[in-house]
Chain A
């Protein structure tokens, strides 16, 4: 059983489109995250939700909007996609009081904007 699962794994889309990436975790964790990994493999946090509440919102264009319908799901919606949005997006989760706890990653969603 996959602990943190993301869909789709691969996504190729044109500039200007709107797309969503879904994430689900079955670990019973309270906290979920979205990380972006650029072409140089640098991982940077975008958002963090704790029990459906947004707790971290880094400097990310407002074209990116996370949505957490329940604590097991955290979806990422991106409007008006740009070339620079091409990256791998990782969903992750951790237990409550996540600071300092192990974060578990999904397998990533490879987004290519053409």
Chain B
């Protein structure tokens, strides 16, 4: 019973490098989202998707891209990493096509950008 799986758990990047954080869920959830969590800032919504082929921006989308080609996967791409993107990233999903359902979170990715 995997739930929401995020990889990698830890990552160190140099400024300017690109990478993709992977997120997969096996619960056939329509809604998926990415958050970042910084001390004193709480979780902030980066991007979200209400179904395959549909994505939209959250509170802090700049510097990140997403796509949703399948129901299961919702990767987050950092185009050119910056130190300000050092954070803990959480992927979350829920059953419904909107945000009114219980969110299931992955275990997080700790990203450091040097």
A-B complex is real: no
> What residues of chain A have their CB less than 8 Å away from a CB belonging to chain B?
none
* Chain B positions near chain A (C-beta within 8 angstroms): none
